[in-house]
């Protein structure tokens, strides 16, 4: 591989060439970014490298003009947020190659080019539709609670909604992470997107006054029926409906959401695995739950995203037209 094609974030020169660092320190420092982030950055970097190779330009170090021309070509068919992420990947790889003071991504020319793209294309992200509480109520009728898949799916979706879990958090839960109490269940998240340092977070889900929507009861029934005692809580099944000794994947959560949302009569293409977490926040806002309480359950550290959910949930409740008629 050509030197300027190398994705150096996986083997950072600033770390590798530092003779004062021990081998143990180097190994830990190379894990400072999540694997998913590294994979995304690597894909972005290779796209930039291929563009440079086609244009017969140097990718590392790149000239600011090269980056400006690249992101303008990219902007023809990509969203402004995608352009920003690609630029982050290019910048991070330059830093890993020891280009700190002369990182071309920090030049005024590049910043101005990115601002122009954002202004022209806008930065609004169109997310998937939320699974609202009323949607859950409609979906409940389609869970076959005499079948192991239906029992699992009900526990999965109700837990995902009530705990406002990300897909990765939901499939990452182990049975050892559950603590049942008289009031409900406490779930320990050993690691999540919002807790990259792995300090751990606790999520409490109380018993519901609606038996059909009770995530705690559904979890207990799933554990009783499956006879699972340890390891991954939510697992795939074989064709013969036997439990596999592995976790469900993020994609599996999305497919299960789409399956039941479709059975409930809604367009499955409008929903994803994230619809459960988004649906909790939006539904909570519709039920006049305060911002602080919503953030406590969703574990958001910034009010910005939560306020977007609240605004969406209150679009009709606080609509001026309701006061006019």
The pLDDT of residue 252 is 95
The pLDDT of residue 5 is 61
More confidently predicted of 10 and 141: 141
The pLDDT of residue 1 is 45
Q: Which tens digit of pLDDT belongs to each residue from 95-148?
A: 888 888 899 999 999 999 999 998 887 755 556 789 999 999 999 999 999 999
Active site residues: 166, 193, 274, 277, 300, 309
Residue 66 has pLDDT above 50, yes or no: yes
Q: Which of 6-20, 55-69, 71-85, 135-149 has the lowest mean pLDDT?
A: 6-20
Residues 169-204, buried b or exposed e (16+ Cβ, 10 A)? bbbbbeeebbeeeeebbebebebbeeeeeeeeeebe
Domain with CATH 1.10.150.130 in the chain: 3-121
- pTM of the predicted model, to two decimals? 0.66
- Percent of the chain whose predicted confidence (pLDDT) is above 90: 61
217 within 8 A of 211, measured Cβ to Cβ: yes
Mean pLDDT of the chain: 88
Range 3-121 classified under CATH 3.40.50.2000 = no
CATH number of 133-313: 1.10.443.10
Q: Which tens digit of pLDDT belongs to each residue from 171-198?
A: 999 999 999 999 999 999 987 665 555 5
């Amino acid at each position: 591989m050509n030197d300027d094609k190398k994705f150096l974030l996986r083997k950072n020169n600033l770390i590798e060439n530092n003779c004062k660092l021990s081998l143990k320190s180097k190994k830990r420092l190379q894990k400072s970014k999540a694997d998913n982030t590294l994979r995304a950055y690597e894909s972005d970097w290779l796209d930039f490298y291929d563009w440079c190779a086609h244009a017969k330009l140097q990718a590392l170090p790149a000239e600011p003009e090269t980056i400006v021309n690249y992101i303008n070509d990219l902007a023809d068919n990509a969203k402004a947020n995608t352009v920003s992420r690609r630029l982050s990947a290019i910048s991070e790889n330059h830093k890993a190659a020891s280009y700190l003071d002369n990182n071309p991504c920090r030049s005024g020319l590049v910043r101005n080019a990115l601002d122009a793209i954002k202004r022209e294309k806008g930065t609004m992200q169109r997310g998937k539709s939320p699974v609202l509480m009323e949607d859950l109520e409609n979906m409940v009728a389609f869970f076959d609670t005499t079948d192991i898949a239906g029992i699992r799916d009900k526990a999965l979706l109700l837990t995902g909604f009530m705990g406002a879990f990300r897909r990765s958090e939901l499939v990452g839960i182990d049975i050892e992470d559950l603590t049942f109490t008289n009031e409900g269940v406490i779930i320990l998240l050993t690691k999540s997107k919002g807790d990259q340092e792995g300090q751990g977070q606790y999520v409490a889900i109380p018993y519901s006054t609606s038996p059909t929507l009770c995530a705690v009861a559904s979890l207990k029934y799933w554990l009783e029926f499956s006879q699972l005692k340890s390891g991954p809580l939510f697992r795939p099944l074989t064709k013969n409906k036997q439990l596999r000794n592995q976790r469900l994947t993020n994609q599996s959560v999305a497919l299960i959401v789409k399956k039941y949302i479709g059975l409930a009569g809604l367009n499955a293409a409008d929903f994803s695995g994230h619809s459960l977490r988004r649906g909790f926040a939006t539904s909570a806002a519709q039920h006049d739950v305060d911002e602080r309480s919503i953030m406590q359950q969703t574990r958001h550290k910034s009010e910005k995203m939560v306020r977007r959910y609240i605004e969406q949930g209150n679009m009709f409740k606080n609509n001026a037209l309701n006061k006019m008629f």
